[in-house]
Amino acid sequence: MAAFVAMPLLAREGAATSSLPVDVTPLADLKRRRLVVYDNLKDLEFEYQAGKLAAQDYQSLKQNYLGEAATLMAASQEAEQLKEIDALLEREIAGRRASRKNRLPQDYICPKCGFENPVPVKFCGECGAKITLLSH
Ligand SMILES: [Zn+2]
């Protein structure tokens, strides 16, 4: 995660984005910076087509931007995965809280492996064995 924090702040060059409210989540920030890189690439292409850039400069700048885009892409995929794991853990924790509050947990203990299923289930979440509920 440290890689993209240390990256040169090319995003700051985008004049259009500076007046917009900044979304502070890492994922939104990465996405915003990626869009800026794409904008820069488009500008670069335009300037090259207009004859304002030497082919050599164009190529080296383009490689820079593409490298930047690839790094940002990889970083946001990583952030996306972390977000999914967070969401998964939150659901798991919420499920456990709900089961503690409203259910008798022993209703969902697997007879085969002893796993305490956090939510009402017909089959064990750990080993797949059928759970026979105790009568209420
Ligand atoms: Zn089980």
For residue 111, the model assigns a pLDDT of 86
Query: Measured in angstroms, how far is the CA atom of residue 125 from the centroid of ligand 1?
Result: 7
pLDDT band at 61 (very low <50, low <70, confident <90, very high): very high
Tokens of 64: 């820079």
Query: Measured in angstroms, how far is the CA atom of residue 12 from the centroid of ligand 1?
Result: 54
Q: Is the pLDDT of residue 96 over 90?
A: no
Q: Is the pLDDT of residue 81 over 50?
A: yes
- Give the span between the Cα atoms of 118 and 127, in whole angstroms: 14
pLDDT band at 135 (very low <50, low <70, confident <90, very high): very low
Query: Measured in angstroms, how far is the CA atom of residue 120 from the centroid of ligand 1?
Result: 13
Question: What are the DSSP E strand ranges found in the chain?
Answer: none
Q: Is the pLDDT of residue 83 over 80?
A: yes
Share the mean pLDDT of the chain. 80
Query: Measured in angstroms, how far is the CA atom of residue 63 from the centroid of ligand 1?
Result: 53
Q: Is 3 helix (H, G, I), strand (E, B) or coil?
A: helix
